[in-house]
Structure 1
Amino acid sequence: MEQVDKLIELSYALDTFYFLISGAFVMWMAAGFAMLEAGLVRAKNTTEILTKNVALFAIACTMYMLCGYNFMYPAEAVNSVWPGMSFLLGDDHAAADVLKSGGETYYSNMADFFFQVVFVATAMSIVSGAVAERMKLWAFLAFAVVMTGFIYPIQGYWKWGAGFLDQLGFLDFAGSGVVHLCGATAALAGVILLGARKGKYGPNGEVHPIPGCNMPLATLGMFILWLGWFGFNGGSELKISDIGEANAVAMVFVNTNAAAAGGVISALLTAHLLFGKADLSMTLNGALAGLVAITAEPLTPTPLLATIIGAIAGILVVFAIISLDKVKIDDPVGAISVHGVVGIWGLLAVCLSNDESSLIAQLTGIGTIFGFVFVSSLITWYIIKLVMGIRVTEEEEYQGVDYSECGMEAYPEFTNSGK
């Protein structure tokens, strides 16, 4: 009996440690988003985008601790749609309870919170890049409070908290819908109200490219995100302490990497065929598109199928970015295309390999997440617009939001305000 207890304790410690390390990998994705976005905006807007990324992470951690986690994982839900309201984190597992469970309780509650909270910050980071260069900093942060404390957790409860989408059979392993489609949809609602950057579109519908200021930084951000995604997807297996789970985690890692590689290759080729050049920004987004696509189901595909899923995502993201520009939806970093359009593809691609999947359930999940997040975000953005405004003045946009919002520039030796 004592030997069994020791094995349970060891398993609990190992799975908790794996959960925490996976969460730390996902936290490092915050650096990836910050670098990617800082590289893809103009130099005069760099400090502000970095400030947003630092602040949104802190807000997400605080709001999820205060109420978001309990919304998403209620101790006792009211029903499958509304989780009820409770605040602050509860106690962790007592040693006696862990042993009594016979191994069914296999990681710490606090480890679960830590792993989940970094996912919330990821969803909010998606919004940051899409509204870059023309949104007021404090309006963005006000939205972050609502998004991370209420909007994200409620739709997350419907799937991961055993709500009605989970009961319908909707599958989303690590969050192509719950995290990525959610963040992209919130961004879309904000961009529609915000409008495009000045000079982005001509009077006759022509698109004027606005290149980013630092492509080495954007590339570094992409690689940081690629690395962090192993924690994002791998940690979502939740366990590693037996042979079957260890093999599953290994497969998730391999498929995650394969999909990213497929996305890079297809986006590079697609951009070359369309533009006659190897477009680096499209290639970077191709890698991220592959990662988003495989996130909904990284366990059941073969590595070859995972590569194909990523490759299709890489093609989709190029055409999605072009199409959004044609309808004058200005997204400086391509976040809506990468996380939204490709997030939908990832959820549909689950049906290619998971025998338990249902196309009807997947479509229901897509429609529910998009509908709820879009409407609730649009209302929130509109209220913020009425109360404090969401867009900087034309003069401030021309000068750069670094100066107007933060009072400093990221590259003072090389840039002048208004240039």
Structure 2
Amino acid sequence: MNSSIQTLVTGMDTVWVVLSAAMILLMEGGFALLEAGFVRYKNSVNIIMKVFADITIGTLVFYILGFGLMYGKDTAGLIGTSGFFLGGNLSHLNLPVSLDTYWLFQAAFTIAVISIVSGAVAERINFRAYLLYILLMTGLIYPIGGHWAWGGGWLTQLGLQDFAGSAVIHALGGFSALAAALVVGPRKGKFNESGESTVALPSNLPLASVGAFLLWFGWFGFNAGSTLSATDVRIGHIALTTMLSAASGGAVTLIYTLFRYQRSDAPSVINGSLAGLVGITAGCAFVSDAAAILIGAVSGMLMMTATRWLEERRIDDPVGAFPVHAVSGAWGTIAVGLFATDKGLFYGGGFRLLGVQVLGLIALAAWGFAITWIGLKAIGKLVSVRSTEEEEEIGLDISYHGIMAADRSHEFIDQLEHLLAEDIVELRKKE
């Protein structure tokens, strides 16, 4: 290939990867709207501020530390040891685009991981504790897990196939979210004395649906952008399998809730489509159209099952982060071992790839869960992980940010009067 053609190809690849990174960053707007729509109105600003913290603090930490741990020169298959501040020896990466371009794309992935955890602890985590957890996730948990699978570590060497992150991003982030939800505990009043879940109505389902559509849009950058090449002939197929799986996940949950509950449940359909997107992320480049539809359908049903499983165990996950990301991500990772047209079990490839997929899933899920659990317990020694009852009652918007999403001061005054009345009653009891 002569130099002028090579220059043109490199330029096209650079534009493609930068645009894909921008699409993935737009997903943060999707996370913000989705989570703000699912939670109560008094906590919507807090959701937005956590997303901004993910983007701002997470980006800087990944630049300083995370990228080097993830993509630096491999040491014992466990961590990278170069590339901090994008310096040092990174020649082993052999990139089709510039290092700056590649870093931008990977930074967008990193921000998505921490945003998964944000939703699971919505409406009750101490904002300062969450900021400290961002450091842990973007600087240690995700980069090290990512090195194992994508950065030349031991899972890379075994042959783990995770094209765009069902395991590395979604299962790791989803099981981290489960650990965080367990450590922080359920929202006040979420479960009654008999253990039954009470209804906490979402503040704005149309807003949540717009967030889901933004996530769906960004997912094409997430999956197809992982080719890192504008001339990769797989782009069209990746986009097709992504679309089919998302549609299948949403359609299955729509039909299931219609017949089981005599109504199509909007939150379930939203999360069903997202579950389909998560499920296909590992295998979008490796499976057939029919397999993509099956993967999406199973993802949607597993999401519904996992949601009930959480409720039965009094685990509070306001936006469904664990069912959507952890469970669907786990299924999507395993599905590659079954349906990959090259080396998949159902295509004559035997059990080796399936075994590697299961091993990689267990390792990444356990890593995310364990370090999040330990990390939040350690953070709890420095600052309370849980908001106070008063902060939760008033709302985290006022408690942590001193502002409401819109002028609803009359409602805030009513809340204060209610709290003062309760305090007076308690004082009288003590007298």
TM-score scaled by length of structure 2: 0.90
2:52 to 51, 54, 62: 54
Q: In the alignment, which of 343, 356, 359 is matched to residue 343 of structure 2? A: 356
Matches within 5 A, 1:255-334: 255-334=241-320
- Aligned equivalents of 1:263 and 1:214: distance in 2? 22
2:18 is aligned with what amino acid? L
Matched, 1:217 2:204: no
Corresponding residue for 1:65? 63
Q: CA deviation at 1:120?
A: 0.4
- The 5 A counterparts of 1:4-403 are 4-74=2-72, 76-84=73-81, 87-90=84-87, 105-241=95-231, 245=232, 247-354=233-340, 355-357=342-344, 358-403=353-398
Q: Which amino acid aligns with 2:214?
A: I
Contact 2:82 2:89 in 1 (8 A): no
**Distance across 2 between alignment mates of 1:290 and 1:23:** 21
CA shift in 2, pair 1:209/1:85, >3 Å: farther
Q: 1:231 and 1:146 mapped to 2: Cα distance?
A: 26
**In structure 1, what is the Cα distance between the partners aligned to 2:88 and 2:230?**
24
CA distance in 2, matches of 1:10, 1:196: 54
Amino acid at match of 1:345: W
Give the letter aligned to residue 202 of structure 1.
Answer: N
Give the stretch that moved more between structures: 143-152 or 355-364: 355-364
Give how far 1:92 is off: 11
- Whichever residue aligns with residue 404 of structure 1, its letter is S
**5+ residue gaps in structure 2?**
345-352, 419-431
Letter in 2 for 1:412: D
8 A Cα contact 1:289 1:313, kept in partner: yes
Q: Match for residue 100 of structure 1?
A: none
Distance 1:46 1:323 in 2: 26
Provide the C-alpha distance between the structure 1 equivalents of 2:37 and 2:392, rounded to a whole number of angstroms. Answer: 18
**Is 276-285 or 348-357 further displaced after alignment?**
348-357
1:101 aligned residue? none
Q: CA deviation at 1:274?
A: 3.1
1:294 Cα offset (Å): 0.2
Aligned to 1:88, what secondary structure does the other structure show?
helix
Cα displacement string for residues 268-291 of structure 1 (whole angstroms, at most 9, x for unaligned residues): 122223322211000000010000
Equivalent residue letter for 2:122: A
* CA distance in 1: counterparts of 2:289 and 2:213, whole angstroms: 20
Asked if the contact 1:292–1:342 (Cα under 8 Å) also holds between the matched residues in 2, the reply is: yes
| CA–CA separation in structure 2 for the residues paired with 1:121 and 1:106 | 23
Please say if residues 74 and 151 of structure 2, whose CA atoms lie closer than 8 Å, have aligned partners that are also in contact. no
Following superposition, which runs of at least 4 residues in structure 1 exceed 4 angstroms of deviation? Answer: none
**CA deviation digits over 1:176-201, x for unaligned, max 9?**
01111111121111111111011111
Distance in 2 of aligned mates of 1:133 and 1:322 = 20
Are the counterparts in 2 of residues 11 and 106 from structure 1 also a CA contact under 8 Å? no
Displacement of 1:248? 0.3
Post-superposition offset of 1:414? 7.8
- Alpha-carbon distance in structure 2 between the residues aligned to 1:231 and 1:91: 29
Asked if the contact 2:186–2:314 (Cα under 8 Å) also holds between the matched residues in 1, the reply is: yes
* Counterpart contact for 1:43–1:415, Cα < 8 Å: no
Q: Secondary structure at the match of 2:84?
A: coil
Q: What is the aligned residue count?
A: 404
Shift of 1:115: 0.3
Alpha-carbon distance in structure 1 between the residues aligned to 2:131 and 2:298: 34
What secondary structure does 1:416 align onto?
Answer: helix
Counterpart of 2:61, as a letter, is M
2: distance between equivalents of 1:85 and 1:375? 26
Q: Report deviation, 1:212.
A: 0.7
CA distance in 2, matches of 1:308, 1:276: 24
Q: Distance in 2 between matches of 1:13 and 1:253?
A: 22
**Identity level (%):** 38
Residue 413 of structure 1: how far off its partner (Å): 3.2
TM-score normalised according to structure 1 size = 0.93
* One-letter amino acid matched to 1:222: A
How far 1:224 sits from its partner (Å)? Answer: 0.2
**Residues 1:105 and 1:77: Cα distance change in structure 2 (over 3 Å):** closer
Work out whether residues 143 and 381 of structure 1, in 8 Å CA contact, stay in contact via their aligned partners in 2.
yes
Alignment partners' CA distance in 2, 1:91 and 1:365: 29
Secondary structure at the aligned position of 1:226 is classed as helix
Q: CA deviation at 1:147?
A: 0.6
Q: Which amino acid aligns with 1:210?
A: A
In structure 1, C-alpha distance between the alignment counterparts of 2:339 and 2:387, rounded to whole Å: 47
